[in-house]
Structure 1
Amino acid sequence: MEKVSGVHCMVGESPTWHAAEGAWYWVDIPARRIWRLDYASGATRSWQTQEMAACVSPAARGGLIAGMESGIFHLTLGEDGSVAGERLAAPPSSELFEGMRFNDGRCDRQGRFWAGTMFMDMAAARAVGNLYRYTAQDGLSAPFVSGMLTQNGTAFSPRGEVMYLSDSHPQRRMVWAFDYDIASGTPHNKRIFLDLGAQQGRPDGAAVDADGCYWSCANDGGRLQRYTPAGVLDREIALPFAKPSMCSFGGPELDTVLVTSIDHGTVSDGWPGSVVLLRPGVQGVADVPFAA
């Protein structure tokens, strides 16, 4: 396991592999910062944004698509460190109001962007979060899932016929699976995939490997967990921080996992808030750029 040098995040989130660039991108939400790691050289750089970006994905036309405080944005990252943001869509104010923002998100296997919202004060436990789909052709959908506390864990099976979604709030700790209509981009047949109420870790961000297994970051549990498509825990990897937040497969062979974390402010050994790379011995599935 290798720590990415020179990187510390308050709330590291949403790593995504940009195959065309051979690099990972991720965000530090409260710092309003986007990070990039070049796989070949190990070089990192970052950009400052005007709003908090919570989830990002490469866009086919260049730049990134992002779920932010006030909507879905296209971001152009300048060589001079500047960020130009174009807001593409936003839910009505009755669905995205003060104290809320977008949270976890990623593209499906066809390049549609999925992202959900949450009320930022988790202690308030307000079940007002929604899950949306955005495409350039159809814009922002009506919510497909509502009543979420802390939307997280969005991922898709290798062929895209199953969609996963979690609620990582301490009062929920659930992961659901949906049958996913690839042609229309519509999830249906919602069912419980994992009920993790009895374990310490909460199911935060996730990724799927080439075998169709679901890798979940056990936030507060300090582990990366691999579940088979049948929902059976078959592997755990101990991590050097208590609050892993999201994982992403990448590298030329898709055999390296980048894991972000949250600095909870209680340990001073330099690991909380760090970003690590590990090689679990399995291959992942490439992240698909937003098909703009």
Structure 2
Amino acid sequence: MEIKPIVDCKTVLGEGPLWDVETQKIHWIDSLGNRIFRADENGNGVESWSVPANIGSMALRKDGGAVLSLADGFYLFDFETGKSELLHRISHAGPTVRLNDGKVDKRGRFVAGSMDTTEEAPLGVLYSLGTDHKVTQIDDHITVSNGPCWSPDHKIFYFADSRSRAIWTYDYDLDTGAVANKRKFCDFGPEDGLPDGATVDAEGCVWSAGVYKSKIHRFDPSGKRMQVIDMPVVCVASVMFGGPALDRLYVTCMLRAPVPGVVETGPLAGSLFVIDGLGVKGLPEYRFGG
């Protein structure tokens, strides 16, 4: 196994690595720097775009461009013009709430949740943005929404409320996008960090960034921890498989922690990393159908 930084981008809050199988490009975001990045599989030819607010997540669209969860709502984004167009504004429960992590299901829905930026109050909501651009609330009472992803058959939805120190699973109705039967998938102890961005590999195992403790965790479908990777940065934020064979794990991290009591040090903070030699493959990400 080899861990190496490939882009010294110094993202304040690096999130959302997203591999596009069509263009063979890796995308990622800086949530607090209000930026989108794109590069080839080795981090060469970096391009970047500004967005008008804090960005929680991004997914590519079937018809080109992207869908974004910005602080105040869902937007469509055009890479050619760099323009962000408001699609649906979200009425949050308070001024400290913004949209955060999101991904697309097999039917093209964009599922994203909100978070309390003080990471203290359960003011967040989990939303599903349909291909018809209608927004449905599917869960609430969440402090920090993170790590949405699905089992390979899309019958199980995984989701982390980071401050609960747990990843949760739901039964997922692919026809309607509804969730049911919420239960705990796994716990994160004090030395594991908090569950942050996540992905599911081709074997159905869940990979989760253990933010604030330099960890990446792999869990089998029963929730048993199978592997822990120690990273050279403290604030590991998200993970995603990519590369031509989908066997490279891309990792984003933070330049500095957004919460008190955590100190990030070293010249690699905020870089985009890739991990090779894991012997595991990921699954292609779906595109937003709206």
Amino acid in the other structure paired with 1:5 = V
Mapped to 2, the partners of 1:136 and 1:145 lie a distance apart of: 19
Mapped to 1, the partners of 2:188 and 2:215 lie a distance apart of: 14
- Quote how far apart the aligned CAs of 1:147 are: 0.6
CA contact (8 A) 2:108 2:131 kept: no
Residue 260 in structure 1 maps to residue 252 in structure 2: yes
CA contact (8 A) 1:201 1:221 kept: yes
The structure 1 segments of at least 4 consecutive aligned residues displaced by more than 3 Å after TM superposition are 197-200, 265-268
Which residue of structure 2 aligns with residue 98 of structure 1?
95
Which residue of structure 1 aligns with residue 260 of structure 2?
none
Q: Deviations over 1:234-280 (max 9, x none)?
A: 11111111111011111111101110001227454211211100122
Give the counterpart of 1:269 among 266, 270, 274. Answer: 266
- Quote how far apart the aligned CAs of 1:192 are: 0.6
Q: Which moved more, 1:1-10 or 1:200-209?
A: 1-10
Which residue of structure 2 aligns with residue 204 of structure 1?
196
Which residue of structure 2 aligns with residue 289 of structure 1?
287
- Quote how far apart the aligned CAs of 1:180 are: 0.9
Give me the CA root mean square deviation.
Answer: 1.6
Q: 1:106 to 1:75 in 2, by over 3 A?
A: same
Which residue of structure 2 aligns with residue 159 of structure 1?
153
Alignment of 1:61-140 (within 5 A): 61-78=63-80, 82-91=81-90, 93=91, 95=92, 97-122=94-119, 125-137=120-132, 139-140=134-135
Mapped to 2, the partners of 1:109 and 1:198 lie a distance apart of: 34
- Quote how far apart the aligned CAs of 1:12 are: 0.2
- Quote how far apart the aligned CAs of 1:197 are: 4.3
Gap runs ≥5 in structure 1:
none
Amino acid in the other structure paired with 1:271 = L
Give the counterpart of 1:233 among 177, 202, 225. Answer: 225
Q: Deviations over 1:138-187 (max 9, x none)?
A: 5101x211111111111111121110000112xx1111011111111111
CA contact (8 A) 2:169 2:185 kept: yes
Identical amino acids, percent of aligned pairs: 29
Using structure 1 for the length normalisation, give the TM-score.
0.92
- Quote how far apart the aligned CAs of 1:42 are: 2.3
Q: Deviations over 1:62-115 (max 9, x none)?
A: 11111001100010123xxx5211111123x3x354222111110112221000
Q: 1:18 to 1:267 in 2, by over 3 A?
A: same
Using structure 2 for the length normalisation, give the TM-score.
0.93
